[in-house]
Amino acid sequence: MVEALRLSSTPSKGAGSAVACPHLQTTVFAVENMHCGGCIAPVEDALLALPGVAAARANLTARRVVAEYDASRVTPDKVIEALEGVGYRAAELADPGVGDAGARDADLTRRLGVAGFAAMNIMLLSVSVWSGAGGDMEQSIQTLFHWLSALIALPAVAYAGLPFFRSAAGALRVGRLNMDVPISLGVILATGMSLFQTMRGSEQVYFDAAVTLLAFLLIGRLLDQQMRTRASGAAANLLGLRLTSAGVLRDDGSIERVSVKLLEPGMKLVAAAGERIAADGIVRAGASEIDEALITGESAPRRIAPGEPVFAGTTNLAQPITIEVTARDSNSLLAEIARLMAAAEQNRGLYVRLADRAARLYAPAVHVLGLTTFIGWMALGHAWDEALTAAIAVLIITCPCALALAVPVVQIAAASRLFGKGLILKSADGLERMAEVDTVVFDKTGTLTEGEPKLVNGADIAANDLAAAASLASASRHPYARAVVAAARRAGILFAVAGEVVESAGAGLSRSTAEGEERLGSAEWCGVPPVAGVEAQLWYRPAKGPAIVFRFADRLREDAAAVVGRLKAAGYRVELLSGDRAAAVAPIAADAGISDWKAEQRPGDKIARLEVLKAEGRKTLMVGDGLNDAPALAAAHASLSPATAADVSQTAADAIFQGSHLDPVVEALAVAKASERLSLQNFALAIGYNIVFVPLAMAGLVTPLIAAVAMSGSSITVTANAIRLGSKNLELARR
């Protein structure tokens, strides 16, 4: 069963903490010309230099920066001005879930079309020159063809290269370097040298290489952008599932379509069969089935009846229902999950920070290598145009794109996959720490078990008795009373909510009828001798007839034993720490297959046990949900919490899993290990690419055209390698 998830914005373990301030505001800004790892540091530094800014996190993949600032001292306009001061064009995102990836794709596609068309025409002219250079073609015809190539190339380079030139100019204007500086320098040098050679009447003209270079660069950037959009679009896609309008039921019975942004708690909505639900709320009329795979990751629909919660973005499958709104659109479960997903995409763990630092130092090295190549070739007696061609190839091939993308795309692909499995990542380095885990410690109630008592002897109770008891129980919020009501609904039994019910604290419920008084509560309250050692029970005493016992149990989650078995098979040590009595913990531990368990554990006892495991050299994943688990969740090496957990536990956890199954625990560990492998693979690919191609370019064995293909290919390779995580069949590997 899905519960409303109220996610705290307090940073969890491993995340940076903001400056405490009553006016602290968080705003997302789109940064148009942030293209490489070298852009991250100046963007963040510019914002952190503003008095009143508490934190700034740049996201290269989404080209966004999240700023947390004192709203009494800083305005969004000041943030935009600060970014413009270091060469970046920025704008506030009114809705962080709505991106401009489509517009960027269309712009790059147009420029690619111009570059490709120009390259093909210049290539035709070049082939004619090459084939006739040693034959009968006159020098004047060759020169004419070169000038025709120049007429095609110059405007094509100016238009197709504008994104690179604009970004490079902005960086140089504020005295810094980014990846577009060497690219722009390489293209401009190749084009300028070709124009100069054409004016001299030389045969060494490279218009075809310059334009084709831009075409390949644009292809690489377009494909890379599309793959990154695919990887990072989980939050945006989630918000895209919201309805724009909803059918509001008015007092006169009419239905009026209004914007979901105008919905207020207390309004009543009508959701037709097959329609997405527009807002979080409580069902007030009708029974149906709800597809909640969007939120829980579970494919089986949930049966709902009056009084049960439903959530925006889920789909009503069977019958029309009437819903009372309980939360505004901006406060819905869907919006909160999307905000958490976006925050996970913004965060950067250890590997990401290492890649950013390497890319930041790498940009100046590119120009040093290019200049060294030019000087070296000239010193060896080569012609200036040969030396310049080699230097151009070095400038292009040493672009740090692949290194900057090596880890962020893995993190985003992992967060997207986990979300699809009903698990929301909160901490920046949570996955990195989960990959190191060798011990899993579970809490019992609400973690290994479902956390709600279930009626276990329902088959022995007559339908009319269950209906009468449920009618009384519907007046109480006691867990056992709720379990009786739930059992009646699951059995399809219709009952009316009893009126004039009196609830006696610690005893039970009663009401007077024409036939006499009926009661639901403890054995003593119902006049029945108590049974020693049996606590999980209620008694129903009708107005006439014998009392009937209702027995309850907190059952294991359906897949708990299977999950524990998979963890053990993979070499993980599994323990159970519970604050419950030993008599209640022992059978649960036995059913789950956990031999190492402890009962009656206070919060301090759980922390002490985690410290013992740490002293033994073990790295522990704590899985818990109660208030008493929050300290242990914070103390563990890594932590998970179910969505039904207390807010403080969700705040302390590195990730939150939804639904009634424990399988997300295994999924989180498997994805963490796979993410670690992919991150290291991407580092190896990026570094290996440079080790192989940079010496070849400096030796003159790589032309500018081949350099463009290699550079674009390396960026696409690391991104595609990360994207595999989304569909890869993962098994929890043995430690």
DSSP label at residue 412: H
| Catalytic option among 443, 554, 625, 629 | 443
Residue pair 507/522 in contact by the 8 Å Cβ criterion:
yes
Query: How many CB atoms neighbour CB 328 within 10 A?
Result: 16
Looking at residue 384, its amino acid is: W
Cα–Cα distances in angstroms (integers) from residue 244 to residues 250, 274, 554, in the given order: 19, 16, 41
Q: Please tell me the predicted confidence (pLDDT) of residue 3.
A: 41
Virtual CA dihedral for 129, 135, 137, 143, nearest 10 degrees?
50
Answer whether 344's CB lies under 8 Å from 15's CB: no
pLDDT score for 441: 94
Specify the amino acid at residue 75: T
The closest of 299, 549, 296 to 309, measured between CA atoms, is 296
pTM (2 d.p.): 0.63
Q: Note the pLDDT of residue 10.
A: 38
- Contact partners, residue 257, CB within 8 Å, separation at least 6: 245, 246, 247, 248
Residues 6+ apart with CB under 8 A from 365: 398
| Residue 180 designated active-site | no
pLDDT at 418: 85
How far is it, in rounded angstroms, from Cα 381 to Cα 495?
98
247 Cβ neighbours under 8 A, 6+ residues apart: 255, 256, 257, 269, 270, 271, 272, 278
> What pLDDT, on a 0 to 100 scale, did the predictor assign at position 16?
36
Buried b (16+ CB within 10 A) or exposed e, 346-371: bbbbebbebbbebbbebbeebbebbe
Residue 470: both structure tokens together: 């449920």
**pLDDT of 689:** 85
- Distance, in Å, from the CA atom of 88 to the CA atom of 29, rounded to the nearest integer, reads 11
Per DSSP, helices labelled H in 20-100 are 37-48, 76-85
DSSP assigned state of 91:
E
Task: Give the C-alpha separation, 603 to 250, whole Å.
Answer: 50
> pLDDT at position 344, please?
47
The per-residue pLDDT for range 37-73, each reduced to its tens digit, is 567 778 888 888 888 888 887 776 567 788 888 878 8
Residues 6+ apart with CB under 8 A from 641: 623, 624, 625, 629, 633, 649, 650, 652, 653, 655, 656, 657
Burial letters 504-533, b for 16+ CB under 10 A, else e: eeeebbbbeeeeeebbbbbbebbebeeeee
Cβ–Cβ < 8 Å for 31, 63: yes
Strand order in 423-425's β-sheet? 423-425, 655-657, 638-642, 620-623, 439-442, 573-577, 597-598
Task: Show the low-confidence residues of the chain (pLDDT under 70).
Answer: 1-23, 33, 35-38, 60-62, 93-102, 129-138, 203-204, 220, 223-243, 293-300, 334, 336-363, 399-401, 403-405, 428, 505-506, 531-535, 626-628, 630, 644-652, 734-735
Q: What is the DSSP letter of 146?
A: H
**Other residues' Cβ atoms within 10 Å of the Cβ of residue 454:** 16
Residue 48 CA to residue 35 CA, distance in Å, equals 20
Q: How far apart are CA 311 and CA 35, in angstroms?
A: 37
- State both tokens at 318: 């069977």
Domains of the chain: 24-100 (3.30.70.100), 102-234+342-410+679-726 (no CATH), 244-331 (2.70.150.10), 424-450+557-658 (3.40.50.1000), 454-553 (3.40.1110.10)
Q: Strands 620-623, 638-642: parallel, antiparallel or unpaired by DSSP?
A: parallel
